[in-house]
Amino acid sequence: KKADREFEVLETRSVRSYAPHQYNICIDVRID
């Protein structure tokens, strides 16, 4: 499962390239 988690993070970083606002929302959800 750890590998999947890392992959998820990488995917989220890609989103940040074109949607920084979405990236922030994803981070908030992860922290929560």
Q: Name the token pair of 15.
A: 């989103």
Say which residue, 15 or 8, is predicted with more confidence. Answer: 8
Q: Name the token pair of 23.
A: 């990236």
Beta carbons within 10 angstroms of residue 12's beta carbon? 14
The pLDDT tens digits for 12-32 are: 665 555 555 555 655 566 654
pTM, two decimal places: 0.21
Distance CA 1, CA 19 (A): 26
Cβ contact 22:29 at 8 Å: no
Alpha helices for 1-32 (secondary structure H): 2-18, 20-31
